[in-house]
Amino acid sequence: MRRFVVALSASVLASCASFAPKALPERSSLDQGLLIARLETHGAYFFKSTKWADSAKIIGLDAQDRPDPALRAQSALAVNGYVVFFGLPAGRYVLTGASFPARGARISVLASADMPETRAVVLRPGKAAYVGDHGFDSLFPDFYVGIARAARIVGHWLTPFLRRPIIQRDGAVHFFDKGPAAETRALLAVRDALAGTQWSLVVAERLRELGAAEPPKVAGLRGRPLPLREETFLSWRDTLKWGEPRRAPDGLAWRRPDGEAQIAVFFTTASAPGFKGWAPAVAELRRSASASVEDEGGVFEVRVATRTGLAARATKYRYPEGLLVGSETTVIVTETTLVPDGYGLYTARLRAPRAEFDDALPAYREFLLQLALGKAPPKAPPAPDALLPFLGATP
Maximum average pLDDT range among 29-33, 160-164, 209-213: 29-33
**Has residue 310 got a pLDDT over 50?**
yes
Instruction: Decide which of 351 and 227 is more confident.
Output: 351
Question: Sheet of 229-230: strands edge to edge?
Answer: 229-230, 234-236, 372-373
Kindly state the average pLDDT of the residues 261-282. 91
CA distance 52 to 207: 24
**Has residue 170 got a pLDDT over 60?**
no
Side-chain-facing half-sphere of 359: CA atoms under 13 Å: 11
Which SS3 state, helix, strand or coil, does residue 158 take? helix
**Has residue 146 got a pLDDT over 60?**
no
Amino acid 53: pLDDT: 84
Amino acid 31: pLDDT: 92
**Has residue 360 got a pLDDT over 90?**
yes
| Residue 18 pLDDT level (bands cut at 50, 70, 90) | very low
Amino acid 155: pLDDT: 60
Q: Among 274, 354, 365, which residue's Cα sits nearest to residue 315? A: 354
**Has residue 46 got a pLDDT over 50?**
no
**Has residue 118 got a pLDDT over 80?**
no
Neighbours of 98 (CB within 10 A): 27
Per-residue pLDDT tens over the stretch 240-264 = 999 999 998 889 999 999 899 999 9
Least confident of 2-16, 53-67, 198-212: 2-16
**Has residue 73 got a pLDDT over 80?**
yes
Least confident of 134-148, 243-257, 362-376: 134-148
Burial of residue 21 (number of CB atoms within 10 Å: 0-12, 13-18, 19+): exposed
Per DSSP, the residues of 206-235 read HHHHHTPPPSPPEETTTTEEPPPEE-SSEE
Least confident of 156-170, 209-223, 302-316, 373-387: 373-387
Angle at which helices 198-210 and 180-191 pack, to 10 degrees? Answer: 150
- Strand partners of residue 225: 218
Kindly state the average pLDDT of the residues 97-113. 72
Amino acid 17: pLDDT: 37
Kindly state the average pLDDT of the residues 304-311. 87
Instruction: Decide which of 355 and 43 is more confident.
Output: 355
Least confident of 94-98, 158-162, 267-271: 158-162
**Has residue 391 got a pLDDT over 50?**
no
Mean predicted lDDT score pLDDT of the chain: 77
Q: Among 33, 32, 60, 35, which residue's Cα sits nearest to residue 131? A: 35
pLDDT > 70 in the chain, percent? 68
Amino acid 190: pLDDT: 94
**Has residue 385 got a pLDDT over 80?**
no
CATH number given to 221-391 = 3.40.1000.10
CA distance 361 to 353: 12
Kindly state the average pLDDT of the residues 274-290. 87
* Domain range annotation of the chain: 27-210, 221-391
CA distance 318 to 295: 16
Per-residue pLDDT tens over the stretch 48-71 = 456 788 889 999 998 888 888 889
Amino acid 322: pLDDT: 55
Which SS3 state, helix, strand or coil, does residue 237 take? coil
| Residue 219 pLDDT level (bands cut at 50, 70, 90) | low
| Residue 286 pLDDT level (bands cut at 50, 70, 90) | confident
Amino acid 393: pLDDT: 46
Q: Give yes or no for a contact between 324 and 273, defined as CB atoms under 8 angstroms apart.
A: no
Q: Give yes or no for a contact between 167 and 107, defined as CB atoms under 8 angstroms apart.
A: yes
Say which DSSP state 106 is in. E
Instruction: Decide which of 96 and 36 is more confident.
Output: 36
Neighbours of 187 (CB within 10 A): 22
